[in-house]
Structure 1
Amino acid sequence: MYKKLISFLTIILFCGQVKAQNREQLIFDRIEYIFNLKPTIAKKYWKGFDKKKYDVPLIYYTDTESYIANPPKDFINYYKPTLVSQNSNIRIYKTTKRFDDIPFHMATSFGIDESTDIIIRPTPIMYCSSFEVTSKKIPESTSTEYWVTMIIHEYFHGFQFKHKPYINTVLKKTGSVSEDSLSKIFKNNIWFEEKIKKENDFLLKAIQSKNSQETKINLDSFFISRKERRLETKSKINLEIDDIEKIYETMEGTARYIEYNLQVEYAIRKPDKKLLSVDTAYHSYQVFRNYKIENDPWLFTPGKRYFYATGFNIVRLLDKLKIDYKTRLFKEGDLSLDEILETNYKKKTAPNMGLWQVGADGSN
């Protein structure tokens, strides 16, 4: 009887170990899947995104543990984490305890994050909660694929911040005014909200325009309205928002652009056989097969963090008008999306230069 009990307990212990190993392997497989998407995004949507010099550490939180993908040497030397998985592109470590008690993470920070007590040399760090934790916090996150779109959005912030001219500008100009400050202005001032929505409508009409005259009319209206709103904000609130708005519009608009294009990519991508065999939350992109941007109005319509949508729509318009911006943004630290649009707009509409050359189908 005693021997049978020992055997039974041994089996239970062994099964528990197998489940723990499988659960941990799923973490490794999901991280690998994320990394494997980078080359496609770099090739199709933003050149250089997958370069090693733009990679940032990823701190991955479960409800009880923390894992770190590709940490810098000073992190390893300080925390002494255990290497638990590696391949040619990824080194994943595990710490003896969770870094903090914050229930949910999905963000990218620069430098020391006081909320997590993580000490690391000034470098961007990407934080994410596991799919299981995220799906409880965000009910819309019903699949691994959807969860990954949020992670890629944050990884793109890491890409942005790894450009020294850009991060220097961000740190210099965002010290006293945060994106939350802009959100509060939007939330607490009806006139401001109405003007933002009006500007966004002009951008959407310019995107949808079928000829150069329509494009010009809507861009004229957009720039006039934007200038008036910024002057009115300075007059009524005693705050100049030009620089800070340009920074967050560029930062979040381009990250949303990458997030959106990953969903476009899902619509045509073949299922990942390896992940399909181990991840029950991975649904082989089925929900994205007939993806249309019209089904996600949150992408292009402004909420309280309005600069996500306006920035995203400026990027869409730059693409439509075939204006180069990807080779300059972030490398030229002070450069913003609306400056690129306005500069090229003035060149195109200068006397004797003609109008925007937009075809009947809306293309150049």
Structure 2
Amino acid sequence: MNVYPIQWKRVTTGIVLTSMLTVLAACGGNNGAENGNKSESGAAPSPTAAPTTETVATEEPAVEDAGKLVVYLNDFDAIIADMFKEATGYDVELVTGNGAEIMSRIEAEKGNPHWDIVWADMMPSIHGLGLQGQLLEGWEPENLSQVAEDFKAYIPENKTYFPTGAHASGIIVYNKNFYTEETAPKTWADFAKAEYKDQIATADPAIAAPAYPFVAALFDKAGGVEEGKAFFDSWFNNGLRVYPKNPQIVQALSGGEVKLAALQESNAYSMVNNNEPIGIIWPEEGAPASVRVAAIQKNTKNPNAAKAFIEFLLDAKTQQQLVDEGEEAYFDPAAQGVTARPDRAANAKLIAADAAWASQHEAEIKQWFADKAVK
């Protein structure tokens, strides 16, 4: 990815009124001259013209924020609150949870939203919020032009959400006590091979935020809903275990409960960095991507802070700090000019399902997966 540096700039919304009506005349309109209000040339100043109808119609009062910005966030990278406060002065309240928790909260608050921003690894679900009319449309961040071209493809036409990065929602990991790089699976189809029976695992797409993008990408790659069901049936028939979230898969791999898994990449690299006997394989066909996106609630009471937050997330310096210090440090940054983790595979290839398609079939696929899963 070609990358170039950018600078972040705080945005303040609202229009400053630039014309004022000065009343210079009373009754006869020459009061200024009678009182000796002369210009240096000795002539009385001309009365200021009243605003035209057109001017009045386009003038708007500045919008003020109502209070603290509330951000609904996946349960990691809580450092963003202090980062944003330091950079802008805006206070942030974080409400964190897994994908299911965040979406359940948003649904429960549909008639009275308590959130201003949702920033999460679930582009299809957030795309669905846009279709429901819950997201601000049509606003464009000032630094949007600095987003890498391949990430611009993820931005919907009505600009209801913006990508901040993407990571592998699943890469192939294996326990080195049981497999070598040569004997471990190389492709996603390999998970259906008899030699791996009862040894494979993945996260639940109805609970873990990155898990549905993982499943949706492989459904899409297979050719559609029915083809995707057939593909995952081959895994279920081979003894696939489904865990609620990726940290539970980490525990299962560490304890030998499973020996192979489709594991979210930050969790996988964390295991390696913690000296766990884990090997990582990036399939040549690509690893399903979880695109992390941010969106503004349509009726936010904090529009200035909300828009500043989106621009802050898109800034190269912000994303570099998340790579260097964040919990979700292994990802492809959306901003140009960011250096990814040096130990991240150079051949990392990500594939993603179309957001509209994945959103359209989300409920159906999740329900089918839940019916099939052996937990």
TM-score by length of 2: 0.24
Question: In proportion to residue count, which structure has more helix?
Answer: 1
Using CA pairs below 8 Å that are at least 6 residues apart, which structure has the higher relative contact order? 2
Q: Radius of gyration: which is bigger?
A: 2
Question: In proportion to residue count, which structure has more strand?
Answer: 2
TM-score by length of 1: 0.25
